[in-house]
């Protein structure tokens, strides 16, 4: 575990430190497109954040190759080299798209070529675990087509969800964390060395996202662009392909006679978990394709109908929309992970149902602003603090369009708060003193 944590930290540090210089380079290179109709941000923001993420990936693989307990992954498997080859190709296509806006079909072809490069180097689905049957071997063409399809779907799902500051990086980081725990359990708990590459890929992917998020949270100073979204989508797909199509589930003793339906669920987890970690982006992808084809548009035509756009339309703020998407991604991914560990526990099912209810309540209350308790106000943004009692400010000042003085908003005990724009109905202290002086004349 220490080697994985070290790899994660090195990847995050390299990504974080390089994002600042990459931002300056993007500004100089002119990778700051004009604001489009579907964009949410209001000012031109540089792209090319994927450059820093790619070098973070390279640093993570380089460090892991020199660690004692992880270098066996490179000596016994060609999957890390296959990942690096495919990532380099998809990253180059993304950089060109961030700068020159290449056609969507060209990007789709590049994604398929990158997936094909990984297949040629051994990162492919060799078989499928079928409950009750065992392993079903795939022919070379079947494995290649299934691998390419999974890579293309994952890349475009992550790319489609990249519409708000910090959304794609955060959701992929959550998915990678859940997948890391699942892969590490298979590798360490069952002693299956074939799960080690997927565990390493997940740790590096978490580092890439965590290192980039501080620069990308709202208001974002830089976007990852297609060079970043397609890159992390490919790394996420590579981990799913590695553990689904090359780890033998029979060694985990999953296939056995079951008496009830809920006891058979763990058998399906190797098939379901790679899908649950991208459930929200995949749902957004499917809805976008159906919506655009129904309107007679191209499936690749951009619009403002994504899930995060709908959250903004019903009244959620930018930050809350991102947090809601985080919540649902974590609930689905970690819910499936918990159920795979102990499916017979009714508490896990009840917990998932309860959290789903909470998520629906938050989803349907866009204007509800929670207030932090007094002791926690110093640790939360000002909008979540309890409304302070302000010093009275003349209502006439607000009516005349004047800005209140800096001292006018300090808390004062015993002063009521009401009136126009937060101004009080009574006048300020100076105004009261002037009235008393006039009445005494």
User: Binding site: which residues?
Assistant: 159, 226
Instruction: Please give the Cα distance from 115 to 342 (Å, whole number).
Output: 34
Rounded to 5 degrees, φ, ψ at 161 are: -80, -10
Residue whose pair of structure tokens reads 């207030």 in the numeric block: 371
Which residue positions form the known binding site for Mg(2+)? 159, 226
Instruction: Please give the Cα distance from 315 to 147 (Å, whole number).
Output: 40
Rounded to 5 degrees, φ, ψ at 304 are: -110, 40
State the Rg of the chain over Cα: 26
Instruction: Please give the Cα distance from 2 to 33 (Å, whole number).
Output: 42
**Full DSSP string of 26-39:** HHHHT--PPPPTT-
- What's the distance, Cα to Cα, between the start and end of the chain in Å? 83
Q: Partners of 428 in the beta sheet?
A: none
Q: Name 198's Cβ contacts closer than 8 Å, sequence gap at least 6.
A: 179, 183, 239, 240, 242, 243, 247
Residue whose pair of structure tokens reads 């989508």 in the numeric block: 233
- Reduced to 3 states (helix: H, G, I; strand: E, B; else coil), residue 135 is strand
Structure tokens at 429: 């202290």
Residue whose pair of structure tokens reads 């790899």 in the numeric block: 7
Residue whose pair of structure tokens reads 């979540």 in the numeric block: 384
Residue whose pair of structure tokens reads 């990459």 in the numeric block: 22
Nearest 5°: the CA angle 177, 370, 365 is 85
Instruction: Please give the Cα distance from 176 to 235 (Å, whole number).
Output: 10
Structure tokens at 39: 């964009």
Instruction: Please give the Cα distance from 179 to 333 (Å, whole number).
Output: 8
Q: Partners of 137 in the beta sheet?
A: 127
Q: Name 47's Cβ contacts closer than 8 Å, sequence gap at least 6.
A: 26, 31, 32, 33, 98, 222, 223, 224, 225, 226, 227
Structure tokens at 174: 């959550």
């Amino acid at each position: 575990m220490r080697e994985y944590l070290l790899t994660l930290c090195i990847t995050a540090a390299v990504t974080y430190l390089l994002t600042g210089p990459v931002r300056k380079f993007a500004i100089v290179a002119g990778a700051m497109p004009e604001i489009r109709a579907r964009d949410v941000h209001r000012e031109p923001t540089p792209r090319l954040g994927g450059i820093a993420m790619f070098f973070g990936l390279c640093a993570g693989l380089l460090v892991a190759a020199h660690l004692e307990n992880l270098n066996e992954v490179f000596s016994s498997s060609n999957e890390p080299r296959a990942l690096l080859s495919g990532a380099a190709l998809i990253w180059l296509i993304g950089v060109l798209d961030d700068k020159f806006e290449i056609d969507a079909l060209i990007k789709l072809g590049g994604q398929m070529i990158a997936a094909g490069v990984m297949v040629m180097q051994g990162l492919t689905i060799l078989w499928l675990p079928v409950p009750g049957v065992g392993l079903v071997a795939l022919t070379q063409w079947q494995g290649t087509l299934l691998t390419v399809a999974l890579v293309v779907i994952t890349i475009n799902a992550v790319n489609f969800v990249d519409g708000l500051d910090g959304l794609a990086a955060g959701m992929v980081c959550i998915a990678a964390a859940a997948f890391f725990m699942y892969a590490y359990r298979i590798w360490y708990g069952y002693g299956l060395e074939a799960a080690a590459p997927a565990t390493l890929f997940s740790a590096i992917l978490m580092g890439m996202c965590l290192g980039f998020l501080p620069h990308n949270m709202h208001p974002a100073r830089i976007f990852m662009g297609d060079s970043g979204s397609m890159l992390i989508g490919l790394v996420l797909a590579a981990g799913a392909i590695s553990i689904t199509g090359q780890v033998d589930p029979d060694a985990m003793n999953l296939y056995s006679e079951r008496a009830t339906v809920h006891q058979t669920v763990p058998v399906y987890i190797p098939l379901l978990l790679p899908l649950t970690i991208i459930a929200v982006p995949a749902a957004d992808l499917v809805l976008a394709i159906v919506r655009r084809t129904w309107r007679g548009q191209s499936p690749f035509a951009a619009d403002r109908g994504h899930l995060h756009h709908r959250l903004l339309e019903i009244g959620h703020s930018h930050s809350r929309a991102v947090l809601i998407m985080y919540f649902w991604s974590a609930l689905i991914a970690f819910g499936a992970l918990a159920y795979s560990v102990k499916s017979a526990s009714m508490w896990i099912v009840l917990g998932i149902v309860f959290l789903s209810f909470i998520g629906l309540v938050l989803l349907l209350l866009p204007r509800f602003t929670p207030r932090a308790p007094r002791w926690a106000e110093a640790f939360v943004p000002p909008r979540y603090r309890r409304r302070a009692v302000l010093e009275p400010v003349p209502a006439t000042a607000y009516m005349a369009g004047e800005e209140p003085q800096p001292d006018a908003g300090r808390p004062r005990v015993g002063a009521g708060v009401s009136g126009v724009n937060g101004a009080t109905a009574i006048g300020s202290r100076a105004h009261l003193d002037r009235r008393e002086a006039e009445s005494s004349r």
